[in-house]
Amino acid sequence: MTLNNYEKNVIRTAVPSVVGLLISLAVKSGLDLSSDSVMVLMPCITTVYYTVIRGLEERYPKLSWLLGALPSNPIDPKSDPIG
């Protein structure tokens, strides 16, 4: 299955969001946090996760799977409108 760049970018956006949600819920289960706190914590964790992994991916392209990219389906920087 070949994905176009749009589909790859959607996946690379969704994966950090899910990771942020899961980490936020894990933190909430260990701490007495309100739902409002989790609503603030989740985007912060998501942003940090994406930023760190994206930075590491620049140096170590094989880490792209941490953002949901399939190794056989890398984003083509020449045709990527976002890149």
Name the residue ranges covered by the structural domains of the chain.
Answer: 5-67
How wide is the angle at C-alpha 2 spanned by C-alphas 13 and 4, nearest 5°?
50
> Would the pLDDT of 11 be above 60?
yes
Per-residue pLDDT tens over the stretch 13-43:
888 888 888 888 888 788 787 878 878 888 8
* Interval 37-61 mean pLDDT: 86
Percent of the chain beyond pLDDT 90?
1
> What span, in angstroms and rounded, lies between the C-alpha atoms of 81 and 51?
19
* Interval 6-11 mean pLDDT: 82
Tokens of 54: 């994206």
Residues 6 or more apart in contact with residue 80 via CB below 8 angstroms:
5, 9
CB 27 within 8 Å of CB 41: yes
